[in-house]
Amino acid sequence: MSRINRKFITLIITAIFSLPAMVMAEAFVIKDIRVEGLQRISAGTVFNHIPVKIGERIQSEESSSIIRELYKTGFFKDVRLEREVDVLIVFVQERPAIANINISGNKSMETEGLLAGLKDIGLAEGRVFNNSVLDKIERELRRLYFSNGKYGIKLESTVTPLERNRVAVDITISEGVVAKIKRINIVGNTSFEEEDLLDEFKQTTGSLLSRVTKDDQYSRQKLSADLEILRSYYLDRGYINFKVDSTQVSISPDKSDIYITINITEGDVFTISDIKLAGRTAVPKEQIFPLIHLSRGDIFSRKNVVDSSERINSLLGKSGYAFANVNSIPEIDKKSRKVSITFFVDPGKRVYVRQVNFRGNSNTRDEVLRREMRQMESAWFSSEQIKLSKERLRRLGYFDSVTVETPPVTGSTDQVDVNVTVKEKQTGNLMAGIGWSKSDGVLFNTSISQDNFLGTGKRINFGFNNSSSSRHYQIGYTNPYYTVDGISRGFDLMYKQTDFGDVDTAAYKTDVASVGVNFGIPLNEFDRVRFAFRAVNTDFEAGSEASTEVNEFVTNNGDNFNDFLMTISWSHDSRDSALFPTRGGKQRLSAEVSFPGSDLEYYKVGYSHRRYFPISESLTLSMNGEIGYGDAYSDTSKLPFFKNYFAGGTKSIRGYKDYSLGPRDSMDDPLGGNMKLLGNIEVLFPEPFGLAPETVRMGAFLDFGNVYDTDDDSVDLGEMRYSTGLSMTWLSPMGALGFVLAMPLNDESDDETENFQFTFGSAF
């Protein structure tokens, strides 16, 4: 190319880029501003971003700043300025808008959730589109899938132009498989085996339950938590200078396996040389030192130090020091490998409660809430009493939520108010339905109950149930605060007709009518004693195919009985939930005896204990045991067989037919026994798909037990029956549904077994 041509081309390019400056070469006063090329963006938006106004004098050098400000909005891909006499003309070319975002191929994550994630970073239908948008979309989608352990995700994006300067964004996803942790290595451990350390981790290399727990899926947050667990493990065993040097996380080429390496330095073991208290203790030191579970010469444990600080803080909180602060200060001697612990106590001012205020209880009377409060007005503030008050309000069952706040009183340094806010729920129920169970067949039931009648806390209920084997009517009334001390009193009327022949037991019928009164006495926050007194009339009728045992009972005792019964029971309930508990337990010890002079003189005693142990965040171990014994006294020779215990079915030993286990009569029908032994071990977990974690619970169980007649034979534990299987409970809108898939393990030839059992509906 000749030198003349090069100079000509250079001149043209310079002229093009200098055009805005040439147009604006002379300063002038703006008489008007006109915007050309707008389609969707309003002229007002442009005017808001132009740094000059009508009537102002514009200099030539200001043209570049105007163009720069309009580009900054992100709305335009081209901006030009021209001058027509005293009119500033702004020519713009808008970027296209996103008409829609279509996502396909996403199997494990819902489209709505993905679109919501994109919207959070400013990408949604109607927003301006530019080429960088695709990069943002892909980065965000990868982040969402990476957080779910899918590192092999592939994305393909297509942008389709549409009319009116719009585009459609289509994203096709190939999710790949979830990356699993293949190996976790700990480097630098000499004092503890790697296997013992890894047992503490939440993340694992997988087990039979990993499909449910997902503990073999890598997560950065979970790894951070595991590193803290590892750090605590060493600090609780005296390794004060323990540190995690580095962590490396690598993934296999096919994006399916993850390898984690953790490099650590253990350091030396330190022992405690001295324990001291400092600051103003506010309570006698004799009360504080027993709370410090440390001794000179012990190996240092951070957990014991922290727990001791919390116990001291709790003691001060109970004594009215609401804002107490307890710090543990270690003094480390590296040469001797010893540490001195000083607990510095700053109790702050002692605080009084000025008022206890309730909000949100539009139906429930204040007195119903106030009688559950353990924190009193004008008393010292107590963190323990505040917590206990909140728990008691929750146990009432009248509220969806209970929150407690303790704001300081304005203008005072030693007073707080206790503000309790509740969200009421419907405490009345009108239920009518139909159900079915293996033992009772079709169930028709209706129930009217009001747990918080007219906001007074009293309970009234009426129930009616009808099935192929029984008909049951009941009316009840309970006042939980018959006295100011929390003693309850209740009354009930009941009538029940039962044809036991229809449930495949001995052939007889009973018509039972009773009237009773009951009292409940609280011993503490978890224990309660109950007394009940009932007058019962039982009309007994032997069936047409009654066994010898049934006919002999009628001959010896008659067929109509008036009995006066007393029941006394003690219960301890520490469960964290009444529906799907995960920790705590429930115990009950009871005794029922008929008064001397009753037509049937007998007694029954029983004890049951169920405990829940959390194994992990999603797994709970349930263990249950029951024992019951009954016998007659005085003129009654034997416990009436219609008062016997029965076993088999969904409420005792699953996999066996209801009431089918134990002694039988001369017609080979189940007769029950005067003693029962039952046990159950079950691992409970949420349904694996995560669709209804609040209403569905599953379990893998082992049941065992039987009932015995100790009058005719001794208790033979070899006669116990065992079964195993899976269970599921669903709290459906129609009522509770229970499903059991069971396999008896040692059934005999004459046992009646059922591999599938279920119940539908509720009996009242």
pLDDT mean across residues, the chain: 84
Cα gap 618→745, rounded to integer Å: 28
What are the C-alpha distances in Å from 306 to residues 37, 302, 343, 648?
68, 6, 10, 50
What are the C-alpha distances in Å from 234 to residues 249, 288, 447?
22, 27, 58
For 630-665, how does the pLDDT look when each residue is reduced to its tens digit (9 = 90+)? 999 988 888 998 899 999 988 899 999 888 898 888
Class (C level, CATH) for 97-174: alpha beta
Q: Is pLDDT of 346 > 60? A: yes
Confidence class of residue 709 from pLDDT cuts 50, 70 and 90? very high
The pLDDT of residue 757 = 83
Confidence class of residue 28 from pLDDT cuts 50, 70 and 90? confident
What are the C-alpha distances in Å from 443 to residues 437, 506, 508, 729?
8, 21, 21, 19
Rg (CA), the chain: 38
Q: Is pLDDT of 12 > 50? A: no
Residue 544 is inside which H or E element, if any?
A: none
- Higher confidence at residue 353 or residue 5? 353
Cα gap 232→230, rounded to integer Å: 5
Query: Helix or strand or coil: residue 234?
Result: helix
CA 761 to chain centre: 25
The pLDDT of residue 98 = 85
Task: Please compute the mean of the pLDDT values over residues 510-527 and round it to a whole number.
Answer: 92
The pLDDT of residue 21 = 42
- Higher confidence at residue 132 or residue 315? 315
Confidence class of residue 211 from pLDDT cuts 50, 70 and 90? confident
Task: Please compute the mean of the pLDDT values over residues 390-403 and round it to a whole number.
Answer: 81
The count of C-alpha atoms lying within 13 angstroms of the C-alpha of 600, restricted to the half-sphere facing its C-beta, is 30
Fold match flag (97-174 vs 273-346):
yes
What are the C-alpha distances in Å from 395 to residues 321, 374, 476?
27, 14, 20
Q: Cβ(447)–Cβ(463) under 8 Å?
A: yes
Q: Highest-confidence range of 235-239, 283-287, 663-667, by mean pLDDT?
A: 235-239
The pLDDT of residue 736 = 67
Q: Cβ(713)–Cβ(678) under 8 Å?
A: no
Q: Where do the structural domains in the chain lie, given as residue ranges?
A: 3-94, 97-174, 180-265, 273-346, 352-424, 428-760
Q: What is the DSSP string of 373-415?
A: --SPTTSB--HHHHHHHHHHHHHTS-EEEEEEE-PBPTT-SSE
The pLDDT of residue 22 = 42
The pLDDT of residue 19 = 44
The CATH code that applies to domain 273-346 is 3.10.20.310
The conformation of residue 673, written as its DSSP 8-state character, comes to B
What are the C-alpha distances in Å from 135 to residues 171, 461, 708?
12, 63, 74
CATH 3.10.20.310 fits 352-424, yes or no: yes
Task: Please compute the mean of the pLDDT values over residues 587-611 and round it to a whole number.
Answer: 95
Any idea which architecture 3-94 has in CATH? Roll (3.10)
Q: Cβ(186)–Cβ(259) under 8 Å?
A: no
Task: Please compute the mean of the pLDDT values over residues 127-150 and round it to a whole number.
Answer: 78
For 155-182, how does the pLDDT look when each residue is reduced to its tens digit (9 = 90+)? 888 888 888 888 888 888 888 777 888 9
With a CB cutoff of 8 Å and minimum separation 6, the contacts of 8 are none
**Least confident span in 128-142, 408-422, 532-546, 716-730:** 128-142
Which tokens hold the place of 88?
A: 């500033």
Pick the CATH number of 180-265 from 3.40.50.150, 3.40.50.1820, 3.10.20.310, 3.90.1310.10: 3.10.20.310
Query: In one letter, which amino acid is 28?
Result: F
CA 754 to chain centre: 33
Separation of first and last alpha carbons in the chain: 101
The count of C-alpha atoms lying within 13 angstroms of the C-alpha of 558, restricted to the half-sphere facing its C-beta, is 9
- The residue written with tokens 């006042």 in the block is 479
Q: Cβ(740)–Cβ(725) under 8 Å?
A: yes
211 φ/ψ angles, rounded to the nearest 5 degrees: -65, -30
The pLDDT of residue 426 = 63
What are the C-alpha distances in Å from 153 to residues 150, 175, 211?
6, 4, 21
For 30-87, how does the pLDDT look when each residue is reduced to its tens digit (9 = 90+)? 888 888 888 777 888 888 888 888 888 888 778 888 888 888 887 888 888 888 888 8
For 303-312, how does the pLDDT look when each residue is reduced to its tens digit (9 = 90+)? 999 999 999 9
Nearest to 234 by CA among 297, 303, 336: 303
Q: Which fold has domain 428-760?
A: Porin (2.40.160)
Task: Please compute the mean of the pLDDT values over residues 553-562 and round it to a whole number.
Answer: 88
Cα gap 567→514, rounded to integer Å: 14
- Higher confidence at residue 437 or residue 502? 502
Q: Highest-confidence range of 121-135, 157-171, 237-251, 414-428, by mean pLDDT?
A: 237-251
**Least confident span in 56-65, 297-306, 438-447, 524-533:** 438-447
Dihedral sign of CA atoms 727, 578, 404, 314 in order: negative
Cα gap 91→26, rounded to integer Å: 19
Question: How many CB atoms sit inside 10 A of residue 427's CB?
Answer: 19
Query: In one letter, which amino acid is 224?
Result: S
For 217-232, how does the pLDDT look when each residue is reduced to its tens digit (9 = 90+)? 887 888 899 999 999 9
Q: Is pLDDT of 104 > 60? A: yes
Following CA atoms 219, 225, 228, 232 in sequence, which dihedral angle do they give, to the nearest 10 degrees?
A: -130
The pLDDT of residue 735 = 57
Query: Helix or strand or coil: residue 230?
Result: helix
Q: Provide the percentage of residues in the chain whose pLDDT is more than 90.
A: 33
Task: Please compute the mean of the pLDDT values over residues 539-543 and round it to a whole number.
Answer: 86
Cα gap 616→204, rounded to integer Å: 13
